[in-house]
Structure 1
């Protein structure tokens, strides 16, 4: 599998995660008859926050993964997979955890995995950028 194919795999899965979360928001709007805002409904607010939170974290993560993929040979394949898997699993766990309720394993571990992916991506990009200069 080539580097950009790896990036495409994680981009595709994470875009589908965003789609599922968006569909859950639309379904919640229909179920609770809410046309604007969250209508003060706690269940619906969690669906909105799950989508919004994913929309905040996924784009930057995917941009980082794509740039890492382009930094051949300075970024190893294991780094692309580690960043992609931690971002993807983190976003799935966090979204499911938010839908389930308040602070729980899914939310906490999902956020930790997302931050791990950001650490891997950020560190990898810095290392790759410096390696190109030496």
Structure 2
């Protein structure tokens, strides 16, 4: 069983996660915050942006990968993977800016939830049929 499509999006999302991680390090240096957030709102925002990605992407990739493993068509797998990637980049940019960019942050969150919902339903459908 190959999960080549999911692997592609896992790799692309992994690259974005590294970029977010390096951005958090840059903010730490600029704000002079070695650990935690020290009550600094800029540091808090960077940490939450990074953490939010880490909270949602694993479940999204898991659901997409399980769908692919169950025989979900490649076009559906690509659609969900690409949508998750776009959603998380939108959210990361929208939340990473201060003040936040509501259209990007909210649009990214909404698209993330939609991917999770569709992938979850697809997995349930594959599992019971």
TM-score by length of 1: 0.89
TM-score by length of 2: 0.92
- CA drift at 1:126: 0.6
Indicate the residue corresponding to 2:121 in structure 1: 123
Matched position secondary structure for 2:3:
helix
Q: Gaps (5+ residues) in structure 1?
A: none
Q: Does the aligned pair in 2 maintain the 1:79–1:124 contact within 8 Å?
A: no
Indicate the residue corresponding to 1:78 in structure 2: 75
For residues 64-114 of structure 1, give each alpha carbon's deviation from its aligned partner in whole angstroms, at most 9, with x where no partner exists. Answer: 111111102xx2222212211111111000000011123511100000110
Indicate the residue corresponding to 1:90 in structure 2: 87
Structural RMSD (CA): 1.5
Q: Does the aligned pair in 2 maintain the 1:90–1:114 contact within 8 Å?
A: yes
Q: Does the aligned pair in 2 maintain the 1:82–1:117 contact within 8 Å?
A: no
Give the distance between the partners of 2:86 and 2:111, measured in 1 at CA. 7
1:28 aligns with 2:24: no
1:4 aligns with 2:11: no
